[in-house]
Structure 1
Amino acid sequence: MPYIKKDFIERLIDRVDIVDVIGSRLTLKRSGSSYMCCCPFHNEKTPSFSVNQQKQFYNCFGCHKSGNVLGFIMDYDQLSFPEAVEQLAKEAGVPVEYEESSGKTQEKREYDVDFYELLEQAAGYYEAELSRHPEALAYLHGRGLSDDTLRRYHVGFAPESWDFLIKKLAGDNPKILKAMAELGLATQSQQGKIYDTFRNRVMIPIRDKRGRTIAFGGRVLDDSKPKYINSRESPVYKKGHELFNLDSIRNLRDKNLSYIMITEGYMDVIALEQSGIHNAVASLGTATTPEQMNLLFKQSDRIIFCYDGDSAGRNAAWHALNTALPALRDDKQLQFCFLPPEHDPDTLVRTQGAQAMIDYLEHAESLPEYIVSTLEKEYSVADDGSRVNCIDRASELLSMMPEATLTRTAVEKRLANLVGWSQESLHSSIDTAIDNIRARKAVRGAELRESSRKQGGYADPDAIPMTPMRAVVARLVKDPELLRAIPEPDRMVALLNEYARDRSSVLLDLISKIKASPDTTTGAILEKYRESGNVGKLIGLLAARSDTEVEQEGFVEIKIIDLLHFIKNILMEHLTARTQALRIKGHKNGGLDTKDLMEFQYLETRTRELLADRGREG
């Protein structure tokens, strides 16, 4: 892989807002100068995960996970560092910049070949090809789709050819061929032959939330297998982070978007759109993911899952429930709509019309109704053992939605009626079960953190011995703007260089980095030290060190006084040591030469000044 430019990474971090990035994955609430939520890296009831917009830094006071926006994406999305940079660049809408010269030379990807432009060209060729294939048009018209709908979704056709798209896009250009293979437009056989991935299929472009083509779905014209082929994941397409038709949904936000419905297929969405139901999206060949739920809850407070009424549809709904619960709050609603087993949304609106679909949606089950009705079918509550298993299963579900207290109460009320217990007894039993579930998860989390610590991972920042030097570094990492408020900073640096360089190398390096970028943030500083080994780890742990901020006017001045106090302690220690060394030298040699005497007098003056300053501060 080519190396990503280091200055690009720094510019990317400056470009994005960590609150927006984390807020697209977690539900953040403003709390003083930060945003808070329950930590995604360990289970907890009380939010301790803090995101600081000014510092561009996150920190959990429970498990001590901390870092900048790239660190969060790596841990939360389970990506490598290059993958995290590419994902963040994708969300920021900028192409990744790679080093042009490297010992490991390789054709550059987006730098030479714009992936989005290549995919858009492919969509155009497929769309133009549709009119040349009456059998494909007849199939689509037979499914009730009008020409206007086909144009709206840029539906196309991939002919029965091994190299239709390759000839159109690449010819003999090896870089384009390589890009096509990486994007899933072309496939390479074991013998090394490259051929079109999609052949003899109706082609549906899949677009990201900005409306850019990022992938394709292809459907055969008959019932041959596989019926559907979707693009594999690529640098611009992560199927668990995208939803078909989300770009259209985002354009409806200013209108009365009372709910969003999730269907299983993009043909369902297209049929619903043509019938006048515009607020539908589809997952892309995968079960609904937490990332997709967070995307949808940013568009609407009410989500309706719509599935076929057969066993496969109900299994998919139950899986979706488990995925959605951690994102649920009392101001968000989840509902479940099941169609007759012989129908999906596409066939229902074609045979019975849009109003029939709307009627089913209006009678969708609420989350408490769905949970309890499903448990009732699974467990025979007349049996004591089965009743306990039913309550345990409900407790597992309720433990996943810590903020949805009203929803939990509604579930408990229905469940109490089902099992024949009082609501108070059931609530107490579920409370105990949830505490046990979370305790087990906390133990597992602690074991994982301890294992990580033994392997050189993160540790408890508050356990680090805090020397005066580390205290200064911690202050400046967390509040780099304090450097501007230090009187005579160049003189301070000169003194540290002269008399405390052996112990001030990290501090001096940090100061030089802040001076080079005066508006830098904690997150940006962490990125500069990412590859600095133990020093980088120390910087990260000091950034996460707990520090009680004085939330009142003048708190910045208090921090500056503390910072100066620490620096003066460091200088006092080293000035005193140097003064004593000169005094011993003078006694041994019967006096000091002119140069040493001038230094001795200077150090004594500086020491008196520092002592006087410390006396005033005390």
Structure 2
Amino acid sequence: MNQWIPRTFINDLLSRTDISTLINSRINLKKIGKNYQAYCPFHNEKNPSFIVYNEKQCYHCFGCGVHGNAIDFLMNYEQLQFIETIEALAMFHGLTIPYNHVKYKNTIISKRFELYQFMRKLNSFYKKNIKLKQAHIFLKKRGINQEIIDTFSLGFALPTWNSLLKKFGDYNQNFNFLKKLGMIINSNIDDDKHIYDRFRNRIMFPLRDKYGNIIAFGGRILDIDENNSSTPKYLHSPNTEIFHKNRYIYGIFEIKKQQHIIPQILVVEGYIDVLTLVQFGINYVVASLGNAITKEQIKNLYQITDKIIFCYDGDISGRKASWRALKIALSSLTDERQLFFIFLPEGEDPDSLIRKIGKHAFERLINNAESVSNVLVDKLMLKADLNNPEGYIKLSKIAFPLINKIPGDIFRLYLRKKLANKLGIIDDNQLEKFIFKMNNNKLFHIEIKHTTMRILIGLLIQYPNLSIFISDLKDIEKFRNPGIPLFVHLMKLCHKNPKLNTNQLLEYYRNHSFYQNLKMLAIWDHKIPEDMIKLTFIDTLIKVYDSILEQYQNILIAHDRKYGLSEKERRELWILNQNLSKYHHEN
């Protein structure tokens, strides 16, 4: 997509952007020597392992391995596409993007800001209605106090069919916003007269992203309407350009607003469950917008905590939902992550139960939640009759494909051993050997094998100004040895753009398959002293020349013995020898 934006503009944007300032505006950085350190925003950790290299204008996390430049950070942290990231940086610097294509003249970011502003207006409208009698009666009956109403910014959608149209539909822009955000429904596509409000006679819950922007709404019907079986109890905004239901988790913003480190998160089904538990002092609870959790939602949860506890309603539907959540979560279970389940008594939900037993008793349920290993094995044992051989075969076919989804090596081996013990199979000491191996791994260490081409390319990426010491590439670019074409391309870029820094140089290769490898080389600790960089670079290039010359000599000797050398081949060999002698003489 970056072909629509001039490369020179992207380079200028990166040169204006100080990566430590950019990242510090979103997470807290602490200066450590020349660099900065922080808790990684992309995974939960107890010790800070996220490093920002100000000189190289890039970052790396030694915990989860993420790395990149200012553009990479915004794309990952804000969950933006490339074009959106460039627009965000341009807006930050007050620049206008000189698009190469009319398709991107109307910027995505500015349109999103307009939608966010309009959603705030809608929320203000709903909030004014919360004091109406029917809404007041419902919230009082459910025991929701004023502090919670204010904290979660609750509102009320009037029972009339067109309250939003009356309030906001008089301007074409507002009318278009209502349609784009799914706040109104057209029962007849060919006739705008058959339009009505999506949310009517419902308590309204604004759904916020992790930065506090309202991106959608959820609505719960009042108790007086629950006898109408055709009316869903909960209703949500449809997917829009700012809201995707299968990724969203209700309550994340409120949790992150209160605490930096989140040891655990309790996942429940409904908004009211969240409100009640928070009111009772359990302030690490979220809702999954129904009981159908998605892989994207679990992934988002594990980005902010290492421990998830599911607590769905105590009915058949809730138990089925717990089993679905378990199967979906398996592919996210690294060895550092935990997953637990609470199974409530029949007919209870978190809202009703905590009001009966109180906070302390409910917290005991949380502390005694069943581990995923116990739930998985117990559930699997019920799926086969182990009184006959066929039952063992059936269980193996069901169990091991599930267990093999787990990426965490130790946890996967542990579950295999646990299931084997249940089946009466004696396991070996493979788990113990693996744990010993894992405990001896070094933390905060990127191991990259030193080779001449890695040193050459790595130094050039970290110090693009080294290119000024090598002006003639016509001899080396003839060869296709591994790494040579890339090195030559890098050198030509540096010659053409002598002021390029590491950050800008990497950006040229964003869409190439070797981009990740180049980013790793950009932060590689090659342990070469600063005053030896130039000499090492030139000496390494000479070694490469030596290696190429030796290979070419061997080829020529073999060719000479069999066929003889042409005048052109002899001259090529002479020129290579002359160039190599020149480099040795100059250095």
TM-score band w.r.t. shorter chain = 0.5 to 0.7
Q: 1:180 aligns with which of 149, 170, 178?
A: 178
1:485 maps to which of 435, 443, 466? 466
Secondary structure at the aligned position of 1:484 is classed as helix
Cα distance in 2, alignment partners of residues 334 and 92 from structure 1 = 41
| Shift in Å, 1:280 | 0.6
Moved over 6 A (4+): 7-10, 19-23, 25-34, 68-73, 87-101, 425-428, 496-501, 544-550, 566-569, 604-607
- Corresponding residue to 1:561 among 534, 538, 544: 538
Asked if structure 2 preserves the Cα contact closer than 8 Å seen for 1:412 and 1:427, the reply is no
The corresponding residue for 1:46 is: none
Partner of 1:459: none
Q: Which whole-Å deviations, capped at 9, do the CAs of 1:293-343 have from their partners, x for residues lacking one? A: 344334443221112233322222122222322332334321110112211
Partner of 2:324: 319
Match of 2:309 in 1: 304
Matched, 1:266 2:265: no
1:526 paired to 2:491: no
Evaluate the alpha carbon distance shift between residue 4 and residue 350 of structure 1 in structure 2; reply closer, same or farther with a 3 A threshold: farther
| SS of aligned partner of 2:354 | helix
Match of 1:212 in 2: 213
One-letter amino acid matched to 1:520: N
1:419 to 423, 426, 445: 423
Structure 1 residues 290 and 499 mapped into 2: Cα distance closer, same or farther (>3 Å)?
A: closer
Q: Please, which runs of 5 or more residues in structure 1 have no aligned partner? A: 39-49, 58-67, 432-467, 531-535, 573-603
Output the CA distance in 2 between the equivalents of 1:70 and 1:149: 33
Residues 20 and 104 of structure 1, relative CA distance in 2, 3 Å threshold: farther
CA change 1:86–1:166 in 2 (3 A) is farther
Distance 1:498 1:235, change over 3 A: same
Q: How do 1:89-488 residues align onto structure 2 when only pairs under 5 Å count?
A: 103=102, 110-111=109-110, 114-131=114-131, 133-169=132-168, 171-174=170-173, 176-188=174-186, 189-193=188-192, 195-221=196-222, 222-223=225-226, 224=228, 225-253=231-259, 258-285=263-290, 287-406=292-411, 408-409=413-414, 411-424=415-428, 479-488=460-469
Structure 2 vs 1, CA of residues 163 and 83 (structure 1 numbering), >3 Å: closer, same or farther? Answer: farther
Shift of 1:154: 1.0
Mark the CA change 1:135 to 1:480 in structure 2 (over 3 Å): closer, same or farther. same
Distance 2:428 2:527 in 1: 43
- 2:527 corresponds to 1:552: yes
Q: Distance between the aligned counterparts of 1:373 and 1:483, measured in 2?
A: 59
Q: Higher relative CO (CA 8 A, sep ≥ 6), structure 1 or 2?
A: 1
Deviation at 1:204, TM superposition (A): 0.3
What secondary structure does 2:395 align onto? helix
1:23-38 correspondence runs (5 A): 24=42
Give unmatched runs, 5+ long, in structure 2: 24-36, 52-58, 435-451, 479-484, 550-573
**Residue equivalent to 2:448:** none
Deviations 1:119-177 (A, max 9, x none): 1221111111222x311221222222123322221110111344433444453133x33
Going from structure 1 to structure 2, the CA distance change for 1:167 and 1:498 (only over 3 Å counts) comes to farther
TM-score by length of 2: 0.68
How far apart, in 2, do the equivalents of 1:562 and 1:218 lie? 69
Verify the 8 A CA contact 2:87 2:109 in the aligned structure 1.
Answer: no
SS for the counterpart of 1:206 is: strand
Cα deviation digits, residues 224-271 of structure 1 (max 9, x gap): 31222111222322333332111222244358x553211122221011
* Distance of 1:93 and 1:369 partners within structure 2: 51
* Contact 1:4–1:97 under 8 Å retained in 2: no
Instruction: Report how far residue 346 of structure 1 moved.
Output: 1.6
Q: Report the Cα distance in structure 2 between the residues aligned to 1:308 and 1:98, rounded to whole angstroms.
A: 51
Q: Distance in 1 between matches of 2:286 and 2:463?
A: 48
Deviation digits for residues 178-232 of structure 1 (CA, Å, limit 9, x no counterpart): 3333333334451252543322221101112222222110122222312221112
Are 2:157 and 2:200, in contact at CA under 8 Å, matched by a contact in 1? yes
1:514-563 deviation digits (Å, cap 9, x = unpaired): 53542425542224xx5xxxxx67x7599599999784334855762267
More displaced stretch, 212-221 vs 352-361: 352-361
Deviation at 1:104, TM superposition (A): 5.2
Q: 2: distance between equivalents of 1:120 and 1:413?
A: 53
Report the Cα distance in structure 1 between the residues aligned to 2:309 and 2:357, rounded to whole angstroms.
20
541-550 or 375-384: bigger deviation = 541-550
8 Å CA contact retained: 2:468, 2:495: no
One-letter code aligned to 1:177: F
Q: Secondary structure at the match of 1:130?
A: coil
The one-letter code matched in structure 1 to 2:189 is Q
- Residue identity opposite 2:508 in structure 1: I
State the one-letter code of the partner of 1:24.
F
* Offset from partner CA, 1:45-83 (integer Å, 9 cap, x none): xxxxx6555x789xxxxxxxxxx679999xxx9xxxx85
2:442 maps to none
Distance between the aligned counterparts of 1:425 and 1:476, measured in 2? 44
* Paired residue secondary structure (1:526): coil
Letter in 2 for 1:611: S
Following superposition, the deviation at residue 371 of structure 1 comes to 1.0
Matched ranges for 1:557-596 at <5 A: 557=534, 560-561=537-538, 564-565=541-542
> Partner letter of residue 463 of structure 2?
L
8 Å CA contact 1:304, 1:336 repeated in 2: yes
Tell me if structure 2 keeps the 8 A contact 1:206–1:217.
Answer: yes
CA distance in 1, matches of 2:420, 2:576: 76
Residues 6, 99 of structure 2: 8 Å contact kept: no
Q: Kindly provide the amino acid, as one letter, of the partner of residue 354 in structure 1.
A: K
Matched, 1:611 2:581: yes
Give the aligned partner of residue 446 of structure 2: none
Query: Which amino acid is the alignment partner of residue 145 of structure 1?
Result: I
Q: Is the 8 A contact 1:476 1:482 kept in 2?
A: no
Change over 3 Å in CA distance of 1:477–1:281 after alignment to 2: same
Partner letter of residue 234 of structure 1? T
State the shift of 1:484 in Å. 1.0
Kept after mapping to 1: 8 A contact 2:273/2:351: yes
Q: What RMSD over aligned residues (CA atoms) do the two structures have, in Å?
A: 5.2
Q: Distance in 2 between matches of 1:105 and 1:550?
A: 40
* Native 8 Å contact 1:12 1:89 kept in 2: no
C-alpha distance in structure 1 between counterparts of 2:347 and 2:280, whole Å: 19
Does the C-alpha gap of structure 1 residues 541 and 296 become closer, same or farther in structure 2, counting only changes over 3 Å? closer
* Percent of aligned pairs with the same amino acid: 25
Determine the C-alpha separation between the residues in 1 that align with 2:579 and 2:417: 72
Structure 1 residue 487: Cα displacement? 4.1
Q: 1:545 to 1:263 in 2, by over 3 A?
A: closer
